[in-house]
Structure 1
Amino acid sequence: MEIKVEQGDITKLAVEAIVNPANSEGEMGGGVAAVIKKKGGKKIEEEAMARAPVAIGEAIITTAGKLPCNYVIHAPTMVVPAQRTTLEKIKQATQAALKVANDYGIKSLAMPGMGTGTGRVPLHEAARAMIEVIKNFPSQSVQELVLIDKKVAMVIAWKQALQNQPTER
């Protein structure tokens, strides 16, 4: 899987699917989720909430409304909205998002910093946790993964984590 790191707006990418670092209730009121709902439409949130609750370590896929991608993969990093999250939950959410993308045959996927906004995990710690999971994920379908965030510091954290993370598979 080719990994690209970019600064920018995940909602503008024309990839097959984007990841929403969600909560278990499917509510899209803050952070990246709120931007996805604002630009893609309320239908995305309605679909996610209809499938709730989604446990940490699980993920669901919905349509993408008016976004240029085809799907949104909702991977909870917290149980309730605005809750502080942990590195373990970030790892579980990252793994769950990749698994759903793989299960649905998604070839191009974009993922923001998981748990770094509303979840309040330090960027460099979240980046290391995400990269550890990504590097060790046995992807059969995802060929391109774009790690994208509006924060320059997140982009730098991913690049540093990629340089320091050996591939185990």
Structure 2
Amino acid sequence: MEFEVIQGDIAQQSADALVNAANTSLRMGSGVAGALKRAAGSGLPDEAVAKGPVDLGGVATTDAYDLDADYVVHAAAMPPGGQSTARSIRDATRNALAEADALSCESLVLPAIGCGIAGFDFEDGVRIICDVVDGFEPASLTDVRLIAYSDDDYETIQRVATEVRG
């Protein structure tokens, strides 16, 4: 499927669903989770924890609270305090896309799940994510955006996305 690469703060994006880079406990710490939790208000982390734990590569969906979205899809690419793997990134990405599609979402913003604190090589992880998104066949999703926070990350994601799309 078609997707675009954007740069910014995921918590400031407008979409039907935003994806949180989660761990299997769904406890929201720093990074993407921290940005979402700060902008959404106190209900988001409480609801997320109540929906956990989930399996590695699994997802759980919560309300988006004060974010400009209907849902937050928490995609668990790592165990608490552990590291992500190629398989967990692939599964979490696929499951996040499938969950948003099942919720009849048209738009989704997806960070580089499993590539930050989870310790997986950024470029390799982004390639997995781009491959999964590129090969996904949605029923409702028409607007998928991969988001990068920093200039360097944006350049890497944009380059990898261009390579994957051929």
TM-score range, shorter chain: over 0.9
In the TM superposition, residue 101 of structure 1 has moved relative to its aligned partner by 0.5
2:3 touches 2:133 (CA, 8 Å); kept in 1?
A: no
Q: CA RMSD in A?
A: 1.4
2:10 touches 2:35 (CA, 8 Å); kept in 1?
A: no
Per-residue CA distance 1:27-75 (angstroms, 9 max, x = gap) = 0012210111111112111111111111123211110111111110001
Q: Which runs of 4+ in 1 moved over 6 A?
A: none
In the TM superposition, residue 122 of structure 1 has moved relative to its aligned partner by 2.0
Residue in 1 aligned with 2:152? 153
Residue in 2 aligned with 1:92? 91
TM-score under structure 2 normalisation? 0.94
Gaps of at least 5 residues in structure 2 are: none
Residue in 2 aligned with 1:114? 113
Which amino acid in structure 1 is aligned with residue 10 of structure 2?
A: I
Which amino acid in structure 2 is aligned with residue 85 of structure 1?
A: S
Gaps of at least 5 residues in structure 1 are: none
TM-score under structure 1 normalisation? 0.92
In the TM superposition, residue 2 of structure 1 has moved relative to its aligned partner by 3.3
User: Structure 1 residues 97-106 or 53-62, which shifts more?
Assistant: 53-62
User: Structure 1 residues 153-162 or 33-42, which shifts more?
Assistant: 153-162
Supply the distance in 2 between the matched residues of 1:137 and 1:2 (Cα, whole angstroms): 9
Per-residue CA distance 1:118-169 (angstroms, 9 max, x = gap) = 11222211110101111111111110011112122222222222222258xx
Supply the distance in 2 between the matched residues of 1:136 and 1:2 (Cα, whole angstroms): 9
Residue in 2 aligned with 1:66? 66
Q: 3-state SS of the aligned residue for 1:105?
A: coil
2:120 paired with 1:129: no
1:21 touches 1:93 (CA, 8 Å); kept in 2?
A: no
